[in-house]
């Protein structure tokens, strides 16, 4: 079994981005600027946003964190988005999801200018991704494609099974893997909570991408010998072993599945760091106005 080291590759990508930032600033231009909007105090979201802001510092980006309390009104949040859309110093921004239930997530996502939507969640970017037009590809699926590329994992003609159909990961992932591109050309099956006999599909996967958010759900008897296994799960479970009282668990039972597969992403240190690298890449594209000139 080969461990897919997302952390190492993410840092490599970040080094390359830092080099580009140096070129930008030495030509007299301002560094790229990413803003993040965080609503409430969800532990997971706090951790992810803190990691994104920290990574900005590492590559030389400017960053701004805007916080709102859990009870913020939709109107107030829409105003924050309008301000960021109109602020020419901000190249791109994200609104960390999930949002509290009283806020309509679709309305918020649609309020972000597509040219600043470095998460790639706006319908314009999703539609352009489907049609192979220049766009921001959402960070986690884009990160996974880069991992497969780095490890020279053959995708053409392979059966890729994606478990989970979220707008953030499963759906875009299934589209990317089926594309007529070097890093696609898979035959894709998208499984979800209503799939019957899930194991019949997962066992036929050459590449299995697990994004269901159910800790250690995928067991060794659910995979094919020699499969490539990508674990997108990051569920926080209580743990007495760590300082903060939590531990991240993936969707895959790592100990047993790793005995049977050819490649596997660990949790943490697999897909997570790649999401950050992709977000920084998208922000750099935004600053250079490469997608929306």
What are the residue numbers of the active site?
Answer: 52, 96, 119
Nearer residue to ligand GUN within complex by CB, 17 or 95:
95
In this chain, which of 139, 177, 230, 232 binds ligand GUN, going by CB under 6 A? Answer: 139
Which residue, 211, 225, 208, 131, is CA-closest to 175?
131
Q: Considering the complex, what minimum distance in angstroms separates the CB of residue 211 from ligand GUN? A: 10
Contact predicate 66/79, CB 8 Å:
no
Q: Considering the complex, what minimum distance in angstroms separates the CB of residue 286 from ligand GUN? A: 15
Q: Considering the complex, what minimum distance in angstroms separates the CB of residue 39 from ligand GUN? A: 11
Residues numbered 48 to 107 that lie near ligand GUN (CB under 6 A) are 94-97
Cα-flanking dihedrals φ and ψ of residue 182, to 5°? -55, -40
Is the peptide bond preceding residue 268 cis, with omega within 30 degrees of 0?
A: yes
In this chain, which of 146, 275, 282, 283 binds ligand GUN, going by CB under 6 A? Answer: 275
Exposure string of 217-245, with b = 16+ CB inside 10 Å and e = fewer, is bbeeebbbeebbbbbbbbbbeeeeeeeee
Nearer residue to ligand GUN within complex by CB, 166 or 204:
166
Alpha-carbon distance values, 285 to 17, 90, 224, 251 (Å): 10, 13, 38, 32
Nearer residue to ligand GUN within complex by CB, 112 or 186:
112
Nearer residue to ligand GUN within complex by CB, 169 or 177:
169
Q: Write out the E strands in 105-222.
A: 159-163, 187-191, 207-210
With H, G, I as helix, E, B as strand and everything else as coil, classify residue 36: strand
Relative to beta strand 228-231, strand 263-264 is parallel
Question: What six digits make up the tokens of 276?
Answer: 């950050």
Nearer residue to ligand GUN within complex by CB, 128 or 224:
128
Nearer residue to ligand GUN within complex by CB, 99 or 252:
99
Question: What six digits make up the tokens of 271?
Answer: 């897909």
Contact predicate 187/158, CB 8 Å:
yes
Residues numbered 1 to 20 that lie near ligand GUN (CB under 6 A) are none
Q: Which helix (H) or strand (E) holds 19?
A: helix 6-26
Residues numbered 187 to 246 that lie near ligand GUN (CB under 6 A) are none
Give the separation between CA 21 and CA 95, rounded to whole angstroms: 24
Residues numbered 141 to 170 that lie near ligand GUN (CB under 6 A) are 168
Q: Considering the complex, what minimum distance in angstroms separates the CB of residue 139 from ligand GUN? A: 5
Instruction: Determine the length of the chain.
Output: 293
Q: Considering the complex, what minimum distance in angstroms separates the CB of residue 235 from ligand GUN? A: 12
Q: How many residues bind ligand GUN (CB under 6 A)?
A: 9
By the rule CB under 6 A, 119 interacts with ligand GUN: yes
Q: Considering the complex, what minimum distance in angstroms separates the CB of residue 94 from ligand GUN? A: 4
Binding residues vs ligand GUN (CB under 6 A): 94-97, 119, 139-140, 168, 275
């Amino acid at each position: 079994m080969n461990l897919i080291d997302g952390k190492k590759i993410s840092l490599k990508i970040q080094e390359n981005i830092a080099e580009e930032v140096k070129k930008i600033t030495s030509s007299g231009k301002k560094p790229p600027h990413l803003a993040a909007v965080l609503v409430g105090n969800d532990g997971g979201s706090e951790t992810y946003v803190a990691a994104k802001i920290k990574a900005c510092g590492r590559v030389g980006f400017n960053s701004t964190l805007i916080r709102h309390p859990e009870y913020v009104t939709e109107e107030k949040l829409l105003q924050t988005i309008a301000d960021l859309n109109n602020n020419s110093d901000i190249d791109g921004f994200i609104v960390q999801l999930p949002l509290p239930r009283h806020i309509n997530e679709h309305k918020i996502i649609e309020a972000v200018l597509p040219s600043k939507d470095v998460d790639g969640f706006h319908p314009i970017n999703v539609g352009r991704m489907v049609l192979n037009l220049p766009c921001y590809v959402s960070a986690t699926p884009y990160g996974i494609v880069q991992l497969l590329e780095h490890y020279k994992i053959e995708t053409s003609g392979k059966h890729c099974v994606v478990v989970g159909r979220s707008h953030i990961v499963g759906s875009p992932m299934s589209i990317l893997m089926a594309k007529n591109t070097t890093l696609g050309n898979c035959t894709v099956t998208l499984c979800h909570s209503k799939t019957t006999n899930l194991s019949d599909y997962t066992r036929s996967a050459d590449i299995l991408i697990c994004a269901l958010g159910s800790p250690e759900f995928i067991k060794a008897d659910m995979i094919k010998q020699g499969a490539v296994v990508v674990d997108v799960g990051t569920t926080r479970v209580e743990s007495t072993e760590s300082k903060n009282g939590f531990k991240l668990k993936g969707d895959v039972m790592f100990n047993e599945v790793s005995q049977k597969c050819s490649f596997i992403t660990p949790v943490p240190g697999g897909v997570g760091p790649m999401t950050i690298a992709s977000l920084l890449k998208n922000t750099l594209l935004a600053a250079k106005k490469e997608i929306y000139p």
